[in-house]
Structure 1
Amino acid sequence: MADTKADVLMKDTEEEVNASVFQDLIHEIESSFSLLGKAASSFDNRYISKVFRDLGPLRRKLANNDKVLPTIITNLYPANHPSREYLLRFVGNVEKSESMDVESENGQAIVPEVELYVHLLAQVYLLDKEKLSELNELSDIVIGLMKSFNRRSLDFIQAKVWFYVCRVKELLGDLYTIRPELLYGLRTATLRHDIETTASIITLLLRNYLLCHDINQASNLVEKVEFPENAGNALVARYYYYLARINAIQLDYSTAHECVIAAIRKAPQTHLAKGFIQSATKLSIVIELLMGDIPALKVFKEHQNFEPYFNVTRAVRLGDLKLFGEVLKKYETNFKNDDNFTLVSRLRQNVIKTGIRIISLSYSKISLKDICIKLHLDSEESTEYIVSKAIRDGVIEATINHQKGYMQSNELLDVYSTKLPQTEFDQRIKFCLSLHNESVKAMRYPNDNDKQNVTKEVEASEEIELLKAIEEGDLDDFMD
């Protein structure tokens, strides 16, 4: 009997805790509605930013409590509202006993900010529950809903909604059908000077093109569209990352390296951005190798799961073509998952160039047959072609004797007679200039209103001191 009573008490306690959590979630979402209402009335986006700061923890709570979102929808929308029916169909119905009496609110018009935010919560909930077909159907409805609104206070919410619309299309493998809607949304956001939505849609379009390997269309989009300067750092970092990937595929490695470094610097330095920083760092390593540079060892120590890229770097540094082939075959799946397999495959020429450079430093004269054996090349003819190309590109200082079939290295007396110091100095100047420009952009300056307020406060304090001096009879000392 004692055990039965204890079990009953434990069940009652659990029910009370669940009811308390349920009420707290309802209150938290309703407080978000009040903040969105203030944002709509005062045109202040800081209220929306505050709501989004709590969206991550709220998302996890909604995934663990299936009755909260249906209750919110039932309490918010009147019985005859068109949005209520399909939202409840997607997220599930709620019993009448669990809904609260809010007839006074149902009689009022729902603020568009609140309505779109409820749809955003429904999108997040369906994504966490892996109900992709329902989420895809809801996304089509939300796109039509966004077209019916034209309010600047909706900009941040629309940018979030577009992200989840594209996310479900990507998970379903339906990347082509969303492009017309994205292009239409980009045109509308640009005409309305909607900075946040414009930046979000540009990054989503670039990701769509890169996933479909439409590099030319992605390059054309970058040329035709101007990315907003005042966009959030997260969107700017994503945009630079996609620019780096586009330029790397188009063989513009110097521009790609600048973009990927900017993406790593602009990325939020939180645990939530860890995956993005790792992807950008992997791309940076490959681009550095393609440029002929060797990444620092600390890059591999700071990040985990970088063993494939460390082994590739070791193969390139040693100039061992056989080792490079083994690494490429062993970690092929890893490179394909990171979408870097094509770029890593291009490193074969760099491995050969490094091997030729090491041989030219070790031997003043060596036959092409020995080079072919050392580098594991196909034939002497291909070896001669590769060596001649390395000489033309300035990789080595040597000459080829075609008749006798050997390569003779030139004795380099003065390194300043080459273009290497000039190239290094030019790279350092570009780095310093870009660092200066980014530092100036990151600085915060006080508004003119703040300056006026400071001046007024100073003047008021001086008047008070003057009055005190008059009362105390120390006017002469004050004037001095």
Structure 2
Amino acid sequence: MDVNMDAIVAQTQGFSGNLSDLNHLQRILKQCEELFGAHTVSQLVSYLDQLDPCLHSLGYLYILKAILSAPVSKEEANGLLVTIARFINSCSVEQIRLAPEIFVFICRRFKDQVMSMEAPIRGVAPMLTAVCKLQVSSEKLTALHSDFLLLCVLAKCYKTGMPVLEDDISEVDQPRDFFLYCYYGGMICIGQKHFGKALELLHNVVTAPMSTLNAIAVEAYKKYVLVSLIHLGQFSTSFRKYTSSAAQRNLKNFAPPYLDLADCYGNGNISELETFVQANAEKFESDNNLGLVKQVVSSMYKRNIQRLTQTYLTLSLQDIANTVQLSNAKEAEMYVLQMIEDGEIYAAINQKDGMVRFLEDPEQYKTRGMIEHIDSSIKRIVVLSKKMTSMDELMSCDPMYLSKVGREKHRYDFDDFDGAPQRFNF
């Protein structure tokens, strides 16, 4: 095909008006990828300047790919960050979805660049926009979800990542994307102290189907143990029966100090727990989990205070400190105030005499807000139930699934059958 860059730019400008022309343009651009590689970065940038990222998104996409596939100097990289961010924000959804793999490539190079510059916060907003443009429905997990969440973790923009985690994901193309989405999502929820949601996401990683154990599941399991202790006050080493055999056989072997911590926590002795943490601090630090371990210790103090509410109506701050082994009344007051603010207990402190009066839960479950919350939850459960029924029907008719079940029938008791790396340190 005898064509030059000026002709490609002209064709991009002329064939970006409708879907039929765009399909023709894409065939041309695919045939010209070798030609793009014969030009320098500065030459390609000059051609890029002749295109509108909003109107000519498809051509812009291919030229950007060629630029990012070539060696780029530090000065050029800084300028390209601005160019890519502008493209992500203004590009046409219809056009970039014609070449989603190239859009993902560009966005990931953008993510890698802001990370190498140690400026992850510069990528958070553009990557959120990229996820929204690539996602065809709220149930679909894109290849960019985990990259966006990673930037949120590194930039400590936990609140920005939370809305993405509210979607009920049911469509996944690559298992690795799902593992990373749940793992980074769990870390974001930990950062926001939404331990219930964090536990759900980490549970998804630990129990997800896997033929061999992967590093993501190992790191998720360690945090799963710690978050279980913080949120539930206990941890069970038993796996759900739908957990893969690879995880059931091997996960515990990679987390002995965490399981020992859970045993120590279960004894209820705060001094013993603190001694254990100090003795194993180096191991927890090497996993970058020491901060979370310290929250486990703090949660035991809180849980012991909660137990007092079941026995006493009033208690002095000094008595609370003595009972739960805090240093003094002032420290006990700090814990009680924080627990009141977080809704973990209901109490009032009399500052004059240092007495704490424990109260009943004021929620009567009859306010308008609570009724709306319950109604919303019921509707969500109904939608999920219908989705699960539909997925079950599709699976029951899938020839590959039926063939696999037939081959492995002897492995299951059908009377009880319900249905069917790298280290990540922060």
State the match for 2:153 in structure 1: 210
CA distance in 2, matches of 1:445, 1:433: 19
288-297 vs 335-344, greater mean Cα deviation: 335-344
Question: Greater CA radius of gyration, 1 or 2?
Answer: 1
CA distance in 2, matches of 1:187, 1:154: 16
CA contact (8 A) 1:244 1:259 kept: yes
Instruction: Give yes or no for the alignment of 1:261 onto 2:203.
Output: yes
CA distance in 2, matches of 1:265, 1:437: 23
CA contact (8 A) 1:209 1:215 kept: yes
Picking from 282, 285, 291, the partner of 1:342 is 291
CA distance in 2, matches of 1:194, 1:433: 18
Bigger relative CO (Cα 8 Å, ≥ 6 apart): 2
Which structure carries more helix by proportion? 1
CA contact (8 A) 2:104 2:143 kept: yes
1:259 Cα deviation after fit: 2.6
State the match for 2:100 in structure 1: 155
CA contact (8 A) 1:136 1:169 kept: no
CA contact (8 A) 1:261 1:284 kept: yes
Instruction: Give yes or no for the alignment of 1:274 onto 2:214.
Output: yes
Structure 1 gaps of 5+ residues are 1-42, 44-74, 90-110, 361-366, 395-402, 406-431, 451-480
Identity within the alignment, %: 13
Aligned counterparts, 1:33-44, within 5 A: none
380-389 vs 306-315, greater mean Cα deviation: 380-389
SS of 2:235's partner is: coil
Instruction: Give yes or no for the alignment of 1:199 onto 2:142.
Output: yes
TM-score (norm 1): 0.46
1:280 Cα deviation after fit: 1.8
Once the two structures are superposed, residues 104-159 of structure 1 have per-residue CA deviations (whole angstroms, 9 ceiling, x without a partner) of xxxxxxx98x9689859958xx8xxxx99699579758888986992544213432
State the match for 2:244 in structure 1: none
Instruction: Give yes or no for the alignment of 1:230 onto 2:171.
Output: yes
Picking from 222, 227, 241, the partner of 1:287 is 227
CA distance in 1, matches of 2:139, 2:99: 10
Aligned counterparts, 1:14-413, within 5 A: 81-86=35-40, 122=69, 140=81, 150=95, 152-186=97-131, 188-189=133-134, 193=136, 199-220=142-163, 222=165, 229-232=170-173, 233-266=175-208, 269-271=210-212, 274-297=214-237, 302-332=251-281, 334-335=283-284, 338-352=287-301, 376-379=325-328
Aligned residue type for 1:230: E
Aligned residue type for 1:352: Y
Q: Alpha carbons of 1:349 and 1:198: their partners in 2 closer, same or farther (altered >3 Å)?
A: closer
Instruction: Give yes or no for the alignment of 1:443 onto 2:386.
Output: no
Q: Alpha carbons of 1:196 and 1:348: their partners in 2 closer, same or farther (altered >3 Å)?
A: closer
Aligned counterparts, 1:407-446, within 5 A: 440=389, 442-443=391-392, 445=394
1:342 Cα deviation after fit: 3.5
CA distance in 2, matches of 1:371, 1:229: 47
1:290 Cα deviation after fit: 1.0
CA contact (8 A) 2:284 2:290 kept: yes
Aligned residue type for 2:177: L
Aligned residue type for 2:114: K
State the match for 1:49 in structure 2: none
